[in-house]
Structure 1
């Protein structure tokens, strides 16, 4: 029955309790549980019916706002994962600058929207002067034109330079000093000539070595000469 109680009925029951009627009697009279009565009194005690109605409306609105916040939070989290997966940091920095110009928001807000830290936003890459490395590499490759990167780098270390091998290799490849791999020498294409057919004996011969094995496992070789006209064996 408590579920069918209106705000006016709840306030009326609480007014009767304030007037001195015992709680047990009110529970028996209106068919409600004692726990429900004490819950109403702790929640709506001293309030009018309009106040109770307004409180319920606020509770419902609060519930809807919480649900909306949960949905928006989930969507924002999914968008953040997608942005991090598909957009590199330089591109996100451009997006943040566009948001600042279009919506007049702060750097912190724009960085938060594009899922980027302010440290990454303000970061400026250090530009190294590689002119000395270029000079050393050009000098080495001019003197030793068949050296590859490993030999060049070993010689650079022997000369006393402490440059990182990745930095030296970056400059090395930027100068197009990579040596081409040795490829197998390709034989020139030849046009095979058709074999001539002899018209008489003793015109052309074919010869080759042959080997075989006897029944007692003794190997032997023969030199065979055959006339190409009648396939007659001339010498074995």
Structure 2
């Protein structure tokens, strides 16, 4: 049967060193003192180096200081670890539970910290972290709606959740727009929109209101290119009241005569507009367009360098650029006419418009 070695406290060591000093003072040697203490000579010399000259109270105080030092070292190490972990999360505020969960997963994988510390740093309770999300279980009540949203976003990659909600309601889904927005964000379907800096301009003329259909037509050009590098010039004509694309052209080059021919074609079945709103491009300031307008149609020129004065057609141009031109590569002029024509047809008859109450 083996005996368990006893560990001495600092006070006991100091008292035993006092006994050894008395043995040595009576003429004994170190071996006799070690036999009296019941320890080896190596232990005696180690005690003498560590606690020699101390009193019992001093030894006790030294032991307490060592414990405090160890505690401070541990707290400092934890503080430095927390500081490094917080630097990892310094990219932005963790506002939603989804971002908090992702942050906890990141901290646990990168740093050797406990789950308790990670949850405390992120600000999410451990019960919430351990609770499985409904969307990650087989009992997700929104699984069918999520599948529909992914299919809809694949068909319309540059449209947002509001249009998705309008189409979902149109197809019979009983759901509000906030739920569509939440599922849209969870599925990672957000559309990145690059917004230009707003500019403030001054105008010397009051804008003409489009208070009825066929009152104001807005005209503008934009450019693209086919795969062989040749230019495409696209003209769009918008009725500002109905937001309808009443006509347009897709050509290599559009002259004033070609624009007048297109306007004549539209007027043949829609009638003349009251005002034609356009910028100061060479096709619009030409004598050809002035002769066509004569006294029947007014031409409202926006101030130079202020395209926001023709906001409806500029908004339409941004839509066709974002949803059609940027997503397609045209290999010929005929291909571009077909694709752009199909998009304009869907814009007029299939796409839901927020300005019209998503009708």
For normalisation by structure 2, the TM-score amounts to 0.25
> Relative contact order, CA 8 A, sep 6+: which one is greater?
2
Q: Larger radius of gyration, structure 1 or 2? A: 1
Question: Which TM-score applies when normalising by structure 1?
Answer: 0.36
